[in-house]
Structure 1
Amino acid sequence: MNLSTTESPFDPGRSQTAYSTRCPTPSARLAAHVHRTPHLARVPRIPHSILRKALKDMAIVREEIFWPVLVATPFESLDELAARANATPFGLAAGIWTKDLSRAHKLAGLLKAGTVWINSLNAFDAASPFGGYKQSGFGREMGHEALELYTQVKSVWVGL
């Protein structure tokens, strides 16, 4: 899998990003590819993948890559895991996969991400706000919070 050769849907010969990370590496292991369904067979992108033992300084761990890649890493405590997850300038969304919903809710509260999915991904509702933390965006889309971006508050004082 070469993450630097993912093609743009607008220009088949052009690389979509500048990633040059190759997996598997001596540290990160490709645990699984999830095969594409037939209706996605011609979509130019890497297959859904699971990486394990990825290092914290790898681009695929630190950056928002917007590719269907899950990075699975071992951890000792939720605080340690949250600190590692939050040690990035980005915070659009996070996905937690677990059998322990109590721990998942605790971790969700510790994560600096605008949306946290537990045992699901990409669930949206127009009534629920969506947006990121840190360098992943300003403000919120959807929900009543989005209306605040279009609201200008004014105070008027009248002396009587």
Structure 2
Amino acid sequence: MTYYGTLLQTVKGISPVAIVGAALVQLVFAIIWFNFIVKNVANYYLAADKGVRRVEHILHRYSTLFCTLATFVCGVARALVIVTGVAVMKGSTLEDYHVAALLLTAVTCINQHHSFWCQRPLPLLLTDLGYEVTAALLASVSYYVLSFYGF
């Protein structure tokens, strides 16, 4: 079977309920992470990055609904990539899901060198990295648990 055929077969076998559940867990985590855990640091450096005194003065180009939907879609994609990677490599343990999550994080963070060229503040990059690592690990754990219980 070709690689494309293997991927299609793998994706067909993935539980959509567990994927949506994993995406919702990531969405809730994003809200908690950026609104409570790293709010002060992220807001301070985001305002500095945009050239305004306070984060409230930033010109918002996208609505909250659009940003929330984008975060949810990224959560679905993150969970799909993790689960597909585990399935293609014939993994089944929680450790396999964690390894796939960390590999996905490494791949998605490859482009961070561009942020240094754009002179983005390091604390802002670290909060984004912390979010990516934790969201990927949460996606792997939540999908593993939901699929374990038959969702």
Q: TM-score range by the shorter chain?
A: under 0.3
TM-score under structure 1 length normalisation: 0.20
Q: Which has the larger radius of gyration?
A: 1
Higher RCO (Cα < 8 Å, 6 or more apart):
2
